[in-house]
Amino acid sequence: MNEDFYIEEYKKLRKSLGRTPKSNEFYKLDSIVKNHFIRTFGSNAYTKLQEASGDSPNKMDLRRTSGEDILQQFGDLIRRLEKLPTQADWDYYGCRPVRIDRSPLGWKWKELPTRFLYTNKNDSQWQDVIGIIENEEYQSDKQPSPKRNIDFERVIDGVKRWNPQRKRFTEEAYKVELRGFLQSNQFAVGEEKGDSNIDLLVNRNVAIELKKDPSTSEYDRLTGQMVRHLMIYDFLLVVLCDISSEDRYKEFMKVVDFVFVPLNLNVELIVK
């Protein structure tokens, strides 16, 4: 898919909305695969798309992301997934701000279901979403949050800032580029060849496993690798590049929610 395709999709969305689309609305289109789109336009992809479509870019300013906007996105995502989303889901679907806990509102990710219920409890249009939240929150309220680590958060932020320079044909090529990016940003990066056999080890305590467009069997293998890594390391970051099947990704996220979330492990998934 080339730039003309995305410009046409943007213009059709603009016409149907009757206004300039927001980036998260564009990324929700069934015809759009976010990482493919970003590779086509490069850095500041959505800004470039708006300019190419004859619009003035409306760049995202996190200070102006209102609580109402956050809850609207949260509700839409629940309805799309038919479950409470993870932070990886939030990031994958282009929701903003990227890190809720870093926004000026001072909200925490775990607070969103309660805030959504309080704000929309009497709104008939959200009753299906409210039902999903209430069903899942009875279980999730009993789960203590995993203890986060400042260094782990720094590595997460570093990997989120990484945008592959171009499409790579192998996982190894992506790994080499990611390693170079992290090293250029003052992270100590090595490789650990042992029983766990991780792809990268950052600052001696954060394991990184990178996969390129996993098949179903590769997702299954990845689950086992994650278990082995977490038997050795306290912090694990999984980076998924070039995802071509949203269905396979969603099935994998169900496994992550079922296996890893109840154990309150420090696991983060990032999609590129």
Q: What is the pLDDT of residues 125-150, one digit of tens each?
A: 999 999 999 888 655 444 444 555 78
Stronger pLDDT, 261 or 59, i.e. the higher one: 261
Share of the chain above pLDDT 70, in %: 88
Task: Tell me what the pLDDT averaged over the chain comes to.
Answer: 84
Q: What is the pLDDT of residues 77-131, one digit of tens each?
A: 999 999 999 887 887 787 877 777 666 566 788 889 988 998 888 888 999 999 9
Stronger pLDDT, 96 or 235, i.e. the higher one: 235
HEC string of the chain equals: CCHHHHHHHHHHHHHHHCCCCCHHHHHCCCCCCHHHHHHHHCCCHHHHHHHHCCCCCCCCCHHHCCHHHHHHHHHHHHHHHCCCCCHHHHHHCCCCCCCHHHCCCCCCHHHHHHHHHHHHCCCHHHHHHHHHHHHHHHHHCCCCCCCCCHHHHHHHHHHHHCCCCCCCCCHHHHHHHHHHHHHHCCCCEECCCCCCCCCEEECCCEEEEEEECCCHHHHHHHHHHHHHHHCCCCEEEEEEECCCCHHHHHHHHHHHHHHCHHHCCEEEEEEC
Q: What is the pLDDT of residues 64-80, one digit of tens each?
A: 567 888 899 999 999 99
